[in-house]
């Protein structure tokens, strides 16, 4: 019995030894698994969301700008949130604040008014959100980059062409854009500097029509009633010049006046092709949207971005 008991104990000891070895192996496996679990697993990068605040999407120019930005956003793999202020500065302030509250990565702003938009830009600055301006500049706040055509040069181009079409003499009208916007101020300054070089050309009326086609028609209709002699008209954008053209048609004076616009929207280009407009200045708004998006994404990726990004102009004639 003693010998049998010893044999049993020895068997138990072997069993215990086998169990211990198995436990050590399992523990080692658990350690390996633990190490694998603690190793950081690469995750998908957080989605980049950019906000685009546009002055007025009723204007085909800004529709093209938005479309250019959206096409670039799709290509770059970022989300784009778009707000339309309908030319209301208070609405734009609220919309930009909403984009800030949503935590956008960057803001692209086409201001309704250069002064009006400053508080919104300063709010974005405080939130650490980089700001880019498109087409129209802002009067304050920290701006990473401004993407726009040289509006002054475009105004000069329009003035020189109008002068040539008039034989360097005559009476002209200037329909101005929204007061206080950089585009209206620069285009007007360029136009008037160019016209000043022609002593036999007189600017007889300068009046705002707020970049709006219906208002351009109404304002120019009133001017036609007051001014029996008008040889040419320059408007700060195509919407106003197309309205002025319609007013002149209704007054049966369109054939006596040279019309020049700015922006080269589709309706204006068609009017140039038909001989109704003498010219329009092409700004390439879709290119502005594209360049603005690319600049914002580059900046977010740590790349250097120019403070001013120019967009080429072109004179569109028949």
- CATH code for the domain of 250: 3.40.50.2300
Q: Does residue 67 sit within a domain?
A: yes
Torsions phi, psi for 144 (to 5 deg): -70, -45
72 with 220, same domain? no
**Within 10 A of 108 (CB to CB), how many other CB atoms are there?**
29
Q: Does residue 135 sit within a domain?
A: yes
Query: What is the model's pLDDT at position 6?
Result: 35
Q: Does residue 63 sit within a domain?
A: yes
172 with 226, same domain? yes
299 with 261, same domain? no
Q: Does residue 40 sit within a domain?
A: no
Give the separation between CA 96 and CA 146, rounded to whole angstroms.
17
Q: Does residue 112 sit within a domain?
A: yes
CA distances from 170 to 52, 160, 201, 296 (A): 43, 13, 5, 46
124 with 232, same domain? no
272 with 300, same domain? no
Give the separation between CA 138 and CA 126, rounded to whole angstroms.
17
124 with 160, same domain? no
Query: What is the model's pLDDT at position 46?
Result: 54
Structure tokens at 268: 């204006």
Is residue 38 classed exposed, middle or buried when 0-12, 13-18 and 19+ CB atoms within 10 A define those classes?
Answer: exposed
Tally of domains in the chain: 2
120 with 222, same domain? no
198 with 249, same domain? yes
Give the separation between CA 249 and CA 269, rounded to whole angstroms.
18
221 with 290, same domain? no
Q: Does residue 297 sit within a domain?
A: yes
157 with 138, same domain? no
200 with 293, same domain? no
Give the separation between CA 115 and CA 23, rounded to whole angstroms.
75
Q: Does residue 11 sit within a domain?
A: no
* Neighbouring residues of 3: CB distance < 8 A, sequence distance ≥ 6: none
Where does 109-237 have alpha helices with state H? 118-126, 151-165, 182-195, 213-226
Where does 77-146 have alpha helices with state H? 89-101, 118-126
What is the maximal distance between C-alpha atoms in the chain? 138
165 with 256, same domain? yes
Q: Which residues of the chain have pLDDT under 50?
A: 1-38, 41-45
Domain residue limits at 196: 151-282
Q: Does residue 233 sit within a domain?
A: yes
């Amino acid at each position: 019995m003693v010998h049998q008991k010893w044999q049993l104990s020895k068997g138990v000891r072997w069993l215990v030894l086998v169990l211990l070895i198995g436990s050590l192996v399992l523990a080692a496996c658990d350690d390996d698994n633990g190490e694998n679990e603690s190793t950081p697993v690469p995750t998908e990068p957080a989605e980049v969301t950019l906000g685009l605040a546009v002055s007025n999407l009723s204007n085909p120019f800004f529709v093209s700008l938005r479309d250019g930005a959206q096409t670039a956003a799709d290509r770059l793999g970022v989300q784009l949130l778009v707000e339309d202020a309908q030319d209301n500065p208070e609405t734009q302030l609220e919309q930009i604040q909403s984009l800030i509250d949503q935590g956008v990565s960057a803001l692209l702003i086409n201001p309704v008014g250069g002064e009006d938009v400053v508080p919104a830009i300063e709010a974005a600055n405080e939130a650490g959100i980089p700001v880019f301006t498109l087409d129209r500049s802002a009067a304050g706040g920290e701006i990473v980059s401004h993407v726009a055509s040289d509006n002054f040069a475009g105004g000069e181009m329009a003035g020189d062409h109008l002068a040539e079409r008039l034989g360097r003499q005559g009476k002209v009208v200037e329909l101005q854009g929204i007061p206080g916007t950089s585009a209206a101020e620069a285009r007007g300054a360029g136009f008037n500097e160019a016209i000043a070089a022609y002593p036999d050309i007189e600017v007889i009326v300068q009046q705002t029509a707020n970049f709006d086609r219906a208002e351009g028609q109404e304002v120019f209709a009133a001017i036609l009633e007051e001014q029996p002699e008008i040889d040419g008209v320059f408007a700060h954008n195509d919407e106003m010049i197309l309205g002025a053209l319609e007013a002149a048609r209704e007054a049966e004076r369109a054939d006596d006046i040279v019309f020049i616009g700015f922006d080269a929207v589709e309706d204006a280009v068609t009017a140039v092709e038909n001989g109704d407009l003498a010219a329009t200045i092409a700004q390439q708004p879709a290119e502005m949207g594209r360049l603005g998006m690319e600049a914002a994404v580059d900046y977010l990726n740590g790349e250097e971005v120019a403070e001013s990004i120019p967009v080429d102009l072109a004179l569109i004639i028949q």
